[in-house]
Amino acid sequence: MNNLNSILIEGNLVRDPLYRSTTKGTPLCTFSLASNRFFKQDSQLEKEVGFFDVETWSKLAENCYNLGHKGRGVRVVGRLKQDRWTGSDGKARSRVTIVAEHVEFRPEFKKTGSTGEETAAEADEALETEALSDDDDLAAQFADAHDAEYEAAF
């Protein structure tokens, strides 16, 4: 029986996602996110920021690369993976990454006019959060939503 290995994390992308393919041609997208934690200590509000590396594979990788950009809010559901190796100096090294199984991007609100206010129609459109998963059905739904979003932009 497998032990439980599951993580849910929210944050903002630190930089634009990187896209590449493995030698067998499987798409891989990696990105880093910053997650803020606020807590009170001695009547002062403190902030702690954690930085986490995320990797996505296949269609999910392609979709994350197309939708993600620096600063965009994201929620990731996945599992932790630990890589271990020996460095060139002979010391043991390790790194923990998140392998995403489901990714949701926070809506982006578009500003209109010189007042910076958005219309009700744009607000409703922006509230439709893009949710991405390795499931083929969800990937197809995403493709349709992405095409509509692309056409609306032009």
Q: Could you tell me the residue ranges of all domains in the chain?
A: 7-153
> CB–CB of 100/113 below 8 Å?
no
**Who contacts 121 (Cβ-Cβ below 8 Å, separation ≥6)?**
none
CATH number of 7-153: 2.40.50.140
**Who contacts 96 (Cβ-Cβ below 8 Å, separation ≥6)?**
80, 81, 82, 83
What confidence score (pLDDT) does residue 1 get? 80
Residue 129 pLDDT level (bands cut at 50, 70, 90): very low
Record the pTM. Answer: 0.69
Tens digit of pLDDT for each residue in 71-114? 999 999 999 999 999 999 999 999 999 999 999 999 987 776 55
Percent of the chain past pLDDT 70, that is, above it, reads 72
What's the whole-number mean pLDDT along residues 127-152?
A: 48
Written as six digits, the tokens of 69 are 């950009």
**Who contacts 134 (Cβ-Cβ below 8 Å, separation ≥6)?**
57, 58, 59, 60, 101, 102
What confidence score (pLDDT) does residue 12 get? 96
In sequence order, what DSSP letters do the residues of 58-73 get, joined into one string? HHHHHHHHHH--TT-E
